[in-house]
Structure 1
Amino acid sequence: MTTTAPVEVGLIGAGPWARTMHARMLAEGPQTRLTAVWARRADAAREVAEQYGAVAAATPEELFDRCEAVAFAVPPSVQSELAVRAAKAGKALLLEKPLGLDLASARAVADAVEEAGVVSQMVLTKRYLPATREFLRQAESFSVTGARSCYLHGAFLGGELATGWRLERGALLDLGPHLLDLLDTAVGRIARVRATGDPRRWVELSCEHENGAVSQASLSGSVRLPRARTRVELFGEEGELVYDTAGLDHDEAWPVLRAEFAAAVRAGRSGELSAARGLRLQELIEAAVTR
């Protein structure tokens, strides 16, 4: 009986999201093994690494030498720079959204991935939930006339996620990739999109889809709610089809994400949620604000 060796993964970042999701997920295995951690704050990297029996790397290049894949849990401006270097070093990439802080940096990552021929996968967390996949499966045979959606929470009002780039760029760049991905997949390919409002407070997206359907997305990280609210409603002649994350256990996503990333690395082939998908979502965000 042949046993596939776990994929050795290095983690870039040691902040809250790196500690609570990436490091724990990658270390739990069995498909992956956390081998090294690098962060600009050496003490933070060392704390995370020691918790999971990994090495605190002194430089990104040392981390690359200690792994076959690199996971990112850093601001998009840092991710885009280091992801290009990791791809050129021949490493598979587990990438956060947004791919970059702007379209040019996102394109640089996607281009580097393509040129190096490395595996890439986006951490669009909701896509790995069984409930999301069932909704998207049902949407394939649902004729949509129109749709509305929202992703709302109060994390920007204070706490660990109220970080510099989120407060500066707001919900469009942080939450927008999630809803645009779901609408682009469930309703149909988005042909045109425009944004109104202030992304730091509340932004509204209006989308026209290639199949003639229209949809809306409401985004805010600055409204006080008991819990985050993500909801997508599809309407058509058949009735309605609703996706709502209320009551879902988001921990169900991590084993799926880990297993699919490891399988892609071992097969040498990226899946649907590759860096190219991240670039597509960044292009939609750019189009929304330049119309």
Structure 2
Amino acid sequence: MRIGLLGTGPWAQMAHAPALSGHGELDFAGVWGRRPEAAKELAERHGVRAYDDVDALFADVDAVAVALPPEVQAGLAARAARAGCHLLLDKPLAATVEQGRAVVGAVEEAGVASVVFFTARFQSEPDAWITEQAAVPGWFTGRAQWLGAVFSSESSFATPWRREKGALWDVGPHALSVLLPVLGDVRRVTAAAYGPGDTAHVVLDHTGGASSTLTLSLTAPPAASGAAVELFGEAGVAVLPESSEGAVPALVRAVDALLAAARTGRPHACDAAFGLRVTEILSAADALLNVGGR
């Protein structure tokens, strides 16, 4: 499969480009970016072509991987799908529900495969744990805590879209990607903006009867940063295991999932439709945070 990369930022450099160039079943064909000089530099580093015209890249490849802000990703993903390209997308799928629906509509109309990269869903230990807990009945409640230090330390990930959208949209998708497969879809959302910076607290009422709480922040002290998920129910307490794998091996597995979906025609659990559902829940929570005077 010939694949192109859209984006030249830190995530594209440290994760996407190495994963694409090192995958044995991919032909990493080229890079497009909003800054042509950055695209040229990244392309030269991996021995591929830098594209000035994104539509020319779409015409030359079978698939694209996207490492761009959500509002930029959504429009380009829809264009790529209409050009017949399979999609390896980043989370969140889009900045609005309307944008997310446009991506899903383009994917369905074109009949292309899609995978949204939720990190924990493509790391061996966490993914196995999620599958195991999803088969366990009687969960009563869950708790997810995703704390980052992006805004409280010198970080290359303190990008404009993260400053605008905050932890809800950056790390909230990770928490939802773990909780939804286990506790089920969400029928009610409550959210409040208590705490420093962009800290948000979200309470979810799941269709299976369980509840869950999310504490999300990119303003945590560096010593307090990290992620944790706990489930409580008839079987006792289950704790999400930490993964020793970095982003590149997880992205390689996401590529494997995209290849399988393209080959078989069977959607992956983390496809664009799942990404849209996550976007809908984030949007509902965001509306409540805005009402509360974020």
Q: Is residue 2:206 matched to residue 1:209?
A: yes
Deviations 1:172-226 (A, max 9, x none): 1111111112111122222211211069521001011112111101000111124
- Preserved CA contact (<8 Å) 2:199 2:216: yes
Map of 1:240 onto structure 2: 237
Q: 2:146 matched to 1:151?
A: yes
Identity %: 38
Alpha-carbon distance between aligned partners in 1 of 2:268 and 2:55, rounded to the nearest angstrom: 26
Letter in 1 for 2:203: S
Paired with 1:101 and 1:241, the residues of 2 have a C-alpha distance of 32
Instruction: Note if contact 2:117-2:251 (Cα within 8 Å) is conserved in structure 1.
Output: no
Name the SS of the counterpart of 2:240 in structure 1.
strand
1:191 counterpart letter in structure 2: R
SS in 2 for 1:273: coil
Matched, 1:74 2:75: no
The 2-side partners of 1:100 and 1:210 are apart by 24
Choose which of 106, 122, 140 in structure 2 pairs with 1:112. Answer: 106
Contact 2:129–2:241 (CA<8 Å) still a contact in 1?
Answer: no
Structure 1: which 4+ aligned runs deviate by more than 3 Å? none
SS in structure 2 at match of 1:155: coil
Equivalent residues of 2:168, 2:286 under 8 A apart: no
Question: Counterparts of 2:208 and 2:118 in 1: how far apart (Å)?
Answer: 24
Instruction: Give the letter for the 2:176 counterpart.
Output: L
Q: Tell me whether 1:283 sits opposite 2:280 in the alignment.
A: yes
Residue pairs, 1:41-80, within 5 angstroms: 41-80=35-74
- What TM-score do the two structures reach when normalised by structure 2? 0.92
Give unmatched runs, 5+ long, in structure 1: 1-6
Name the residue aligned to 1:273: 270
| Deviation for aligned residue 1:269 | 3.6
State the distance in 2 between where 1:156 and 1:89 align.
38
1:53-75 CA-partner distances (Å, limit 9, x unpaired):
21001110111122110110011
Cα distance, 1:228–1:67 mapped onto 2, change above 3 Å: farther
Distance 1:227 1:66, change over 3 A: farther
What is the match of residue 187 of structure 1?
A: 183
Partner residue, 2:291: none
CA contact (8 A) 1:171 1:200 kept: no
> 1:224-269, CA deviations, whole angstroms, 9 ceiling, x for partnerless residues?
1247411110011321011043x62224423322222222223344
Instruction: Output the CA distance in 2 between the equivalents of 1:11 and 1:78.
Output: 14
Give distance in 1, aligned partners of 2:225 and 2:32. 30
Counterparts of 1:227 and 1:112, CA distance in 2: 41
Matching residue within 6, 9, 23 for 1:12: 6
- Alignment partners' CA distance in 1, 2:197 and 2:66: 24
Deviation at 1:142, TM superposition (A): 4.2
TM-superposed CA distance for 1:146, in Å, is 1.1
CA contact (8 A) 1:84 1:108 kept: yes
- 1:274 CA displacement: 0.7
Is the 1:168–1:200 contact (alpha carbons within 8 Å) kept by the matching residues of 2?
A: no
